[in-house]
Every structure is written in C-alpha cells, then in structure tokens.
Amino acid sequence: MNIREFERLLRRMGVRVEEVEASHVELYLKSGEVVRIESPTVLLLRAPGKVVVYQVQAHESSIRRETPRAQEHAAPAGYTPDEEDIALVMEQTGASREEAIRALMESGGDLVQAVMKLLPQKGQGRAEQGT
C-alpha cells in the first residue's frame, strides 16, 4: 500500500493527520535516561473518540541518549515543599501526603515531575484492585 492509499484509508476511518513543527523531542524513560531527537518529523493523528497519537520520525544520527546527572533533580539543600504544592500533587494523583512530599523532594520541587512520578504508581494500584 502506498502512502496516498494509506492517507485515504485513514481519512475514511475518521483519522485526521496534522504535521507538528517541532525543533526537538525529548523522551524521559523510566530508567532515568533521556532520549533527545533533533529536527524530527512529527505527525499528530487524531482518531474518533479523542484518541491522539504522535508519530516521531528522525534520522538515527539526530538521536542522542543521555543519562541525567544525579543532582539534576535532587532537592536543593534545605528545600521543604510548601503546603500548596503538597495539596496540588495529592489532588492530581490521589497520593497520600507522605507520597506527595517524597515525590516533591525527589523531583527537587518540580510539580510536573512529582505528579508524573506518582501517576503510574497509582494507575497500577487501581488496575491490580480491579483484577
């Protein structure tokens, strides 16, 4: 099947394809490694039912793998999460106060990192309870 036939098939299925202009893409792996892709071709596929898929294409030479430095996300000396940040992380993730504080400390106060650190854990817990 050639690319035009494939695009027609996607349209018939209700999938819209858009190109996203991206200068780079970074993937943060669970191992802590960061994959950085320079000058990628990024397509956004929107399917019925709010299903969204990002497709990233690049030459192998434009891909770098990096291991972040241990201190990069460590909390600064004397850092203490404030009540507003703790409450926000708890609200967004359903985590306990202790879990929220630990995630904030491990992420150096970065709210997004703290929430992302807790969401997979909470999702697994719910999946296990349902089985």
Residue-wise pLDDT for 78-108, tens only, equals 778 889 999 999 999 999 999 999 889 888 8
pLDDT tens for each residue of 56-70 = 999 999 999 988 654
CATH code of 101's domain: 1.10.8.10
Q: What is the pTM (predicted TM-score) of this model?
A: 0.47
Structural domain boundaries, residue 32: 3-66
Same domain? For 94 and 61 the reply is no
Last residue of a domain, one of 43, 66, 89: 66
Rounded to whole angstroms, what are the CA distances from 80 to 14, 28, 105, 107, 131?
49, 25, 7, 12, 38
Any residues with CB less than 8 A from the CB of 38 and at least 6 apart, and which?
Answer: 23, 24, 58, 62, 63, 64
pLDDT of residue 23: 93
Cβ(68)–Cβ(34) below 8 Å: yes
